[in-house]
Amino acid sequence: MKSITSEVTDALTGLRYTRPMTQFADALKSWRKARRYSQLELAHEAEVSSRHLSFLETGRANPSREMIQRLGDALDLPLAIRNQLLAQAGFAARYPQRDWSSDEMAPIREAVEYTLRQHAPYPALAVDRHWTILQMNMPAKKLLGLIGARVGISLLDLMLEESVQAMIENWPEVAHHTAQRLRVESASRGGDRRLDAAIEALSLVRAPDAAPVDPVIPTIYRAGDLRLSLFTTIAQFGTPEDLALDDLKIELFFPSDAETAATLGALAQAPDELASPS
């Protein structure tokens, strides 16, 4: 028979180790699973003992700010998520979100403008996490202006308009590819309502008739006699310390055939009002 002392000790030990997990512990475990890491793998990546990581996930240990930073790096978490983890652990947020038009962002705007300008005569633009256009070069204003694109407008909203879809010759392929890209972007943030809504809408488009055979899937725009086949590359800032920069993407359009390259060169000399939407 156990003594009263041992029974009390066992009860207290059980309470100590079965207490509900904290918000931080739940979030850490969820993100580890979302990134498909085992505890051992994440512990190795973050250079922490697997025992300590287990304690963090069960709420038996509290993280330091440095530990949250290391785990965020190992899991490649967006800065907004890192701020949430810091708050859940009782710390102040580390990463600010500056206004795009603020004086502090002037060097960034200039760098983006330089990149876009140098890409002419090909279109280029900068967008935020919801594909809202922040900056455009002149070729982008001329060409994407045909579908109503301008600074402050979301490309996601435009792509869901039937009039725009009708101008994309290979719309089923583009819709399927865009939905795949959005799934990756949403998953990287732990879900995003606006991106998820666009994914749902794009998923209603019928599947492409055949699998693509080209190295990339271009977007083929057609407006009257104008036909342009373009693919894109995406650039991001390598060491962002601001939420706005963490979400910012620079999209550079390239011609996928000689005819498009020649047309872009010719359009670069055309009047700016060419792209004014009707």
Whether pLDDT at 168 is above 50: yes
Quick: pLDDT tens for 72-88.
999 999 999 999 999 99
Listed in sequence order, the residues at least 6 apart from 105 whose beta carbon sits closer than 8 Å to its beta carbon are 98, 99, 244
Domains of the chain listed by start with CATH number: 4-88 (1.10.260.40), 103-275 (3.30.450.20)
Q: pLDDT-derived band of residue 9, with 50, 70 and 90 as boundaries? A: very low
pLDDT at 22: 78
| pLDDT over threshold 70, residue 276 | no
Confidence of residue 270 (pLDDT cuts 50, 70, 90): confident
Alpha helices in 89-125 (DSSP H): 106-118
| Residue 66 pLDDT class (50, 70, 90 cuts) | very high
Range name among 1-10, 62-71, 158-167 with the lowest pLDDT average:
1-10
pLDDT tens sequence across 14-40:
444 434 447 999 999 999 999 999 999
| Residue 273: Cβ within 10 Å count | 8
pLDDT-derived band of residue 207, with 50, 70 and 90 as boundaries?
confident
Which one-letter DSSP state was computed for residue 271? -
Residues in the chain: 278
**pLDDT band, very low/low/confident/very high, at 225 (cuts 50, 70, 90):** confident
Those residues whose C-beta lies under 8 Å from the C-beta of residue 139, and which sit 6 or more positions away, are 119, 120, 121, 122, 123, 124, 264, 267, 268
Range scoring the smallest mean pLDDT among 38-47, 119-128, 217-226: 217-226
pTM of the model: 0.81
Order across the sheet with 226-235: list the strands.
133-136, 124-127, 249-255, 226-235, 219-223
Output the pLDDT for position 19: 40
